[in-house]
Amino acid sequence: MDPMSDLANNEKLLRILEGAPAADTARGQQHADEHEEEAEDATRQEAKLDLSALRRKLKEKSGKEYWRTLEELADNPHFDALLHREFPRHASEWDDAVDRRGFLKLMGASLALAGLAGCGRPDEAHIAPYVKQPDQVIPGRPNFYATAMPFSGDAIGVIVESHEGRPTKIEGNPDHPSSLGASNAFVQASILNLYDPDRAQTVMYTGEIRSWSAFLDAAQSLATSVKATSGEGFRILTGSVSSPTLNSQIKKLLAAYPAAKWHHWEPATGDGPTEGAKLAFGRVVNTVYVPGKANVILSLDSDFLASGPGQIAYAKQFARRRKLDGPNGTLNRLYVVEPVPSVTGSSADHRLPLRASEIELFSRALGGKLGLGSDAALAGHAAKWLDTVVADLEKERGASLVVAGEYQPAAVHALAHAINLKLGNVGTTLYYTEPVEALPTGNAESLRELCADISHGKVDLLIILGGNPVYDAPHDFDFAAKLLKVPNSIRLSPYYDETSRYSKWHISESHYLEGWSDARGHDGTASIIQPLISPLYYTHSAHDVIAAFSDKPGMPAYDAVRNYWTEASAHLESSLDAGWRKWLNDGVIPGTKFAPITPELKFNAASLPAQAPAKPDQIEYVFRPDPTVHDGRYANNGWLQELPKPLTKLTWDNAALVSPKLAQTKNLAHIVQARGGEHGQILSALVDIELNGSKVTAASWTLPGVAENTVVLPLGYGRTHAGYTGTNKGFNAYVVRTSDALWTASNGKMTPNGETYPLACTQYHFNMEGRQILVTGTLEEYKKNPAFAHESGEAPPKSDSLYKEFAYPGYAWGMAIDLNKCNGCSACVVACQAENNIPVVGKDQVMRGREMHWIRIDRYYTGTDADSSREGKTGDPSEYSPTLDNPETFFQPVPCMQCENAPCEQVCPVDATVHSAEGLNDMVYNRCIGTRYCSNNCPYKVRRFNFLRFQDWETPQLKLLRNPEVTVRSRGVMEKCTYCVQRINNVRIDAEKQNRPIRDNEIVTACESACPSEAIVFGNANDPTSKVAKLKADERNYSILAEINARPRTTYLAAVRNPNPGGEKA
């Protein structure tokens, strides 16, 4: 259905917010309603006011009036903002900002306020009901709307939970082929971008606020002027456009201005696929994989499980083939060749670390073995490894799959296409379609042309839609200087960022939850993007900007989308008017999925030009998007900044990743700091990296599994104008990136500069000290001994207990996590953070070991010989051991274990954590006095403590974000995973009202629903037919450290890998 009906304008929306009653956002704090008013103002206020003026104002006041005035002023979002500039937002950072000298001042303030609060009764709270209540809104019950999140050339269908008009949580859309109901960290975190207080809020011209109409006028005059030259000097620069409407809008515009050009630049999207397709088929095609059908998969440096279009769908299909029912079950087999350890590589059965440049050699060799005529020499180990792969691939003709990584050159892709055809995989494990991408030419080339034109003074009107070229364009383009040359530059962006500062016009871009649009998924399926909330600020969409230059300036995006689909729906089974509501409701437009095509191969592997032989001792620098902030677009997203990166477990920083061996030769040691320690702060050596005639200083990080002589430079950090959260974090790898070496560079120099840098690492220690924590085995071992998971430790029999067991006659909530499926992607961590109002604490606090994630993902390397119980050994990757070159990597999500014999409960002095009748380990925040005894006594260390006031209770936008079903925890209380008790209760209440038992899968925890690989299953363990009960009955099912006899309700299914029996290990 269409939420716009009740969200006509801000005023109404925000009244709804006020309407959200007692349970709403800021529980546990008095002035709820005032703050909600702030939110209202925040959306309207425009005037710029300066701090000095305010100071003057304040001087005139005195005494009680003074404080009152402050409160009034605090209602003004700009004053709020200014304050925040002075005292940064997050509690922790705020901590840093306030030095001890400021202490007395503070004391004074707090005392005065305490005085105010002390006298009299708490202020009256208000309820502001609707004036006309929209039919589908029942205050207190969330509504769910389907839409889609566009993400660099792809779109992920999502379902958004909305509380009285506030979107609060995003889930995957089961009906959408690119989501299949799951999501990833970016999708989960995108909701925070919507409420980011640092978003640009207005139209600006050279730094001055302008009105939208002013822009429209300017646009029209510009349009007419370029019209004269039929668009000569008119350029449009976009990222990859997956919106058919926008695509056609631009095309129409170009038709109107024949001489105008459309360029595009995606810093983190490889040209491999397009160029490869051109090389192989002479045309651009879109490749859709069907990993679910493949028994053997070979990834040539492709992280298809966690990046690139279709990642979620692929992860889901792949995981389903990792489902192991009983000893007779079968598993697919994954071979990965890659220079950089990736999520995909970590779940491989065989992983071969090869330098980026050697991947092509490997592919050629592979092609040769499969009789494609190409050839290349491989080193001993790699050669043996290759033989195993070839054997396996040939065995599984038609059911195998070779995936080339998008950062690999065209040749690798062409070879991959050829091989897949040769193996007869096309049509089964993969198929080709028309490209989803609107402008499928090389990124760098496209941008190079533009720059060339600019420097030749050919460009006088440039529209930049999204992206951030000033920050992320190859440094040899020197885009900033170029942009200044352009007389009229117009920039659409959600932030007033690096590029906006160099543009004449800045248009603030709406969040995808704020406006109408559409987008195509990885297989072409189109969805209508419908707004969940009317824009919080004066923001606009790309559609609006393009329209501004068309003959219909000011045409709403809604019309643009409707217009496009009225035409486009001609060939669909249902016309727009017939289908519209259904499209919106389902989140997909039926019949828009691209039909498979069969391009014919115009590629002869033998004719490939000989590749320059690899120089093994030359260091290679590999550029990759960062796992959490991607190409930098999420730099200002606190959730993603604080999300530990899957393999390094670093937060708030990127680092130059080096292999243990290289670290040893360069002697880049890590020093574990006493403050925080292994679970917090590591000092790492700073290195100067000189590359392509430019230089950057980066913190180094030793990462087991990085290919020899390879240095990985993650992109997306070192932003200078990202906003409060993202500015000046990490180092900017773009500085040493040039257009001719976008992904792999050599001839660089890396020299330690003798200094060190503190990195916030949430898990440094990587081995299990021989404890029964993460149990793994191979398929053979499993078939031989299905109960292998239980050898390392068993819980003592219940009969040993002197106490009589508590009975759980009703529901017994439990969780089973299949370690065979978990690939460490960390979507669950962010999902949990979004669902449960978990605060961001900032780098300093993470370095003190105080991050608040309710679910963490532990990363272990098996087969390593570092054993810290031996003298001197610290299990420290910076202590080189050969086993660290290519260790087997496993991930283990660790939420609260909800132990039946909970050690935490027994030691709590005030009954703040007790067991519910359904076996939940309840945490009662308002009873907690914060002794932290429970955390000390928790063997799994899953409890989190509010050491300071971590929650941001001032920023109005963040209040809108909060999930009203979950308490916002105050300072000094313990918290932890609750199995999403709010979801349990809501479902139970509905079931009880109908006097029926809760059905299996009716309750889905946040982590479970986000998980792309279906690794997490929650349910009623008492019901033998439930999914969770079946899993717990599996012989692989074990509980961590069973011998402690805490009897966790969260249990794990041992990981079983499927290495080739005849094959090379690793």
Partner 1 sequence: MSVTQPPIDSPEIRRLEPVLAPGHTYLSVTDKIAAVVLTRPLGIGWLAGFGLTFSLVMLLFLSLAWLITKGVGIWGINIPIGWGFAIVNFVWWIGIGHAGTLISAILYLLNQKWRTSINRFAEAMTLFAVACAGIFPLIHTGRPWMAYYMFPYPSTMGIWPQFRSPLIWDVFAVSTYGTVSLLFWYVGLLPDLATLRDRAKDRAQQLAYGVLSLGWRNSAHHWHRYQSAYLLLAGLATPLVLSVHTVVSFDFSVAIVPGWHTTIFPPYFVAGAIYSGFAMVLTLAIPLRKAYGLEDFITMRHLENMAKVMLATGLIVAYGYFIEFFMAYYSGNKFDVFLANQRLHGPYSHFYYALILCNILTPQLLWFEKVRRNVAALFIMSLVINTGMWLERFVIVVISLTRDYMPSAWGRYSATFWDYSTFVGTLGLFVMLMFLFVRGLPAIAISEMRELVAHQSHGKGEHQ
Partner 2 sequence: MEHRPHSYGVMAEFDTPEEIMAAAKKTREAGYKHVTAYTPFPIEGLAEEIGFKWTAVPLITLLGGIGGGLTGFGMQYWMMAVSYPLNIGGRPLNSWPAFIPVTFELTILGAATFAVLGMIALNKLPEPYHPVFNVDRFSHASTDKFFLCIQAKDPKYNLAETARFLQGLNAKHVDEVKDE
Partner 3 sequence: MAQIFDRSANFLARFSLLGVAALAGLGLTAVLVVARSPYITNQRVTRNQPIQFSHKHHVGDDGIDCRYCHTGVENSAYAGIPPTKTCMNCHSVLFNNIGYLEPIRESYRTEQSIRWVKVHRLADYVYFNHSIHVNKGIGCSSCHGPVNEMALIYQASPLNMEWCLECHRNPEQNLRPKDQIYNMNWKAPAEQEEVGRKLATEYQLRSKLELTSCSTCHR
Residue 484, interface with partner 2 (CB under 8 A)? no
**What does 763 interact with, of partner 2, partner 1, partner 3, none (CB < 5 to 8 A by kind)?**
partner 1
CB of 821 to partner 1, least distance (A): 20
And the tokens for 289?
A: 């994989």
CB of 670 to partner 2, least distance (A): 38
- Nearest C-alpha neighbor of 970 from the set 832, 837, 853: 837
**Binders in 906-925 for partner 2, by CB under 8 A:** 906, 908, 911, 914-917
988 lies in the binding site for partner 1 (CB under 8 A): no
d(CA 451, CA 477): 7
Q: Residues 621, 73: contact at Cβ < 8 Å?
A: no
CB of 914 to partner 1, least distance (A): 8
Return the residue of 87, 103, 144, 806 that touches partner 1, per CB under 8 A. 103
Instruction: List the single partner that 428 binds among partner 1, partner 3, partner 2, none, CB under 5 to 8 Å by kind.
Output: none
Does 905 interact with partner 2 (rule: CB under 8 A)? Answer: yes
Distances (CA, A) of 40 to 13, 50, 652, 841: 9, 21, 32, 27
Q: Work out which of 23, 106, 116, 671 binds partner 1, going by CB under 8 A.
A: 106
How many residues form the binding site for partner 2 (CB under 8 A)?
19
Between CA 339 and CA 323 the distance in angstroms is 28
Binding mask 636-655 for partner 2 (x = CB under 8 A): --------------------
Helix axes 32-44, 10-19, angle to 10 degrees: 170
> Measured from the CB atom, is 96 or 990 closer to partner 3?
990
Interface residues with partner 3 (CB under 8 A) are 11-12, 15, 18-19, 21-23, 27-28, 121, 124-133, 138-141, 809-810, 914-918, 920, 922, 924-927, 965-967, 978, 981-982, 984-985, 989, 992-993, 995
190's enclosing H/E stretch is helix 185-194
Of the ranges 245-253, 378-386, 576-584, 944-952, which one interacts with partner 1 (CB under 8 A)? Answer: 944-952
Using CB distances below 5 to 8 A depending on partner kind, what does residue 114 bind out of partner 2, partner 3, partner 1, none? none
- 794 is an interface residue for partner 2 by CB under 8 A: no
Select the binding partner of residue 918 from partner 3, partner 2, partner 1, none (C-beta < 5 to 8 A, by kind): partner 3
Least separation, in Å, of the C-beta of 783 and partner 1? 29
The distance of closest approach from Cβ of residue 638 to partner 3 in the complex, given in angstroms and rounded to an integer, is 23
What stretches of 293-374 show up as alpha helix (H) in DSSP?
311-320, 343-346, 356-369
Contacts 24+ apart (CB under 8 A), 745-748: 745/620, 745/621, 745/623, 745/691, 745/692, 746/357, 746/615, 746/618, 746/619, 746/620, 746/621, 747/618, 747/691, 748/619, 748/621, 748/689, 748/690, 748/691, 748/692, 748/711
- As a three-state string, the secondary structure of 967-1035 is CCCCCCCEECCCCCHHHHHHHHHHHHHCCCCCCCCCCCCHHHHHCCCCCEEEEECCCCCCHHHHHHHCC
Give residue for tokens 């309820």.
Answer: 127
Q: Comparing C-alpha atoms, which of 981, 983, 908, 975 is closest to residue 942?
A: 975
Nearest to 743 by CA among 701, 718, 713: 713
Per rule CB under 8 A, count of chain residues that contact partner 1: 74
In the list 563, 763, 778, 916, the residue contacting partner 1 (rule: CB under 8 A) is 763
Q: Binding mask 1013-1052 vs partner 1 (x if CB under 8 A, - otherwise)?
A: ---------------------------xx--x--------
Shortest spacing between CB 986 and partner 2, in angstroms? 23
Say whether 892 sits in a helix, a strand or coil: strand
Task: Kindly state the smallest distance separating residue 908's Cβ from partner 2, in Å.
Answer: 8
Interface residue with partner 2 among 1047, 1049, 1058, 1060 (CB under 8 A) is 1047
Q: Computed over its alpha carbons, how large is the radius of gyration of the chain?
A: 29
Does 132 bind partner 2 (CB under 8 A)? Our answer is: no
In whole angstroms, what is the distance from residue 892 CA to residue 828 CA? 12
Instruction: Report the nearest approach of partner 1 to the CB of residue 826 (Å).
Output: 14
Alpha carbons 693 and 690: distance in angstroms, whole number: 7
Pairing of strands 400-404, 430-433: unpaired
* 52 vs 799 by CB, closer to partner 2: 799
Shortest distance (Å) from residue 903 CB to partner 1: 5
Which position among 358, 406, 900, 952 is part of the footprint of partner 2 (CB under 8 A)? 900
Of 272, 608, 300, the C-alpha closest to 442 is 272
HSE-CB at 79 with a 13 A cutoff on CA atoms is: 16
**Which of 328, 871, 989, 1062 forms a contact with partner 1 (CB under 8 A)?**
871
Q: Minimum distance between the CB of residue 927 and partner 1, rounded to whole angstroms?
A: 7
Report the partner that residue 815 touches, choosing among partner 3, partner 2, partner 1, none (CB closer than 5 to 8 A by kind). Answer: none
Interface with partner 2, residue 806, by CB under 8 A? yes
Name which of 789 and 1040 has its Cβ closer to partner 1: 1040
CA gap 534, 389 in Å, rounded: 53
Q: Mask 998-1017, x = binds partner 2 (CB under 8 A)?
A: --------------------
> Per DSSP, what are the bridge partners of residue 973?
none
What is the distance between the terminal CA atoms of the chain, rounded to a whole angstrom? 51
The answer to whether residue 804 forms part of the interface with partner 2 (CB under 8 A) is yes
Q: Does 977 bind partner 1 (CB under 8 A)?
A: no
Tokens representing 521 are 């998924």
- 903 near partner 2, judged by CB under 8 A: yes
Q: Which does 23 bind (CB under 5 to 8 A by kind): partner 1, partner 2, partner 3, none?
A: partner 3
Site string for partner 1, 836-865 (x = CB under 8 A): ---------x--xxx-----x-xxx-----
Classified as helix, coil or strand, 472 is helix
From partner 2, partner 1, partner 3, none, interface partner of 929 (C-beta below 5 to 8 A by class): partner 1
> Please, which of residues 666-705 interact with partner 1 by CB under 8 A?
672-680
Work out the number of other CB atoms within 10 angstroms of the CB of residue 143: 19
Quote the crossing angle between the two packed helices 77-86 and 63-75, to the nearest 10°.
100
* Least Cβ distance, residue 978 to partner 3 (angstroms): 7
CB of 187 to partner 3, least distance (A): 25
The span from the CA of 947 to the CA of 458, in Å, is: 58
Q: Which residues make beta-bridge pairs with 430? A: 289, 426
The backbone torsions φ and ψ at residue 824, rounded to the nearest 5 degrees and listed phi first, read: 80, 15
- Cβ atoms 31, 123 nearer than 8 A: yes
Give the three-state DSSP class for 384.
helix
Quick one: what does residue 148 bind among partner 1, partner 3, partner 2, none, with the CB cut-off 5 to 8 Å set by partner type?
none
Cα distances from 65 to residues 68, 71, 254, 1031, in angstroms, run 5, 10, 61, 64
Based on CB atoms, which residue is closest to partner 3, 8 or 51?
8
28 binds partner 1 (CB under 8 A): no
Binding status of residue 348 toward partner 2 by CB under 8 A: no
Residue 191 or 928 with smaller CB distance to partner 2: 928
In the bound state with partner 2, the residue whose beta carbon lies nearer, of 661 and 932, is: 932
Smallest gap from Cβ 840 to partner 1, in A, equals: 15
3-state secondary structure of 804: coil
Name the one residue in this structure whose structure tokens are 């059908």: 293
Give 542 or 912: the residue with its C-beta nearer to partner 3.
912
Q: Is 898 in the site for partner 2 (CB under 8 A)?
A: no
Which residues lie near partner 2 (CB under 8 A)?
A: 803-806, 899-906, 908, 911, 914-917, 1047
